[in-house]
Amino acid sequence: MFPLINEERFSVLYSSNPASRPNNPVNVYIDLLMLKDIFAQTDEEAIHSLYFDLRYQYALHTTSFEEQPVSKKSLSNFRRLVYRYYEEHGIDLSKKK
């Protein structure tokens, strides 16, 4: 799943200012949300799986990360940004070709 997601289409959600903090990899958010839905997990369960289940880390290509890049807050913020963009522009970034 991971390499098939085009992160560039999500760039509209983030600042282009080089002085701003870089965003976490969008691929991780999208794939974690997909795994969450596949396994009918809550956000908390999905985050817990990412932190403690090597299968999740392997699937999301985060095994080499010193710290996992997603928290409950960052996952909620990402989902909110995608939804807000859809509401304002009528474009679902998760389905855009």
Looking up tokens 């970034």 gives: 93
Asked if residue 10 lies in contact with residue 92, where contact means CB atoms within 8 angstroms, the answer is no
Say if residue 29 is exposed, middle or buried (CB neighbours under 10 Å; 0-12, 13-18, 19+): buried
pLDDT per residue over 28-42, tens digit each?
Answer: 999 999 999 999 999
Do the Cβ atoms of 81 and 15 come closer than 8 Å?
A: no
pLDDT band at 1, cuts 50/70/90?
Answer: low
**pLDDT value at residue 15:** 73
Q: Is the pLDDT of residue 76 over 90?
A: yes
What is the overall mean pLDDT for the chain? 87
Q: What is the pLDDT of residue 3?
A: 63
What are the residue ranges spanned by the domains of the chain?
Answer: 23-89
How confident is the model at residue 21, as a pLDDT? 64
Q: Which of 41-45, 65-69, 77-81 has the highest mean pLDDT?
A: 41-45
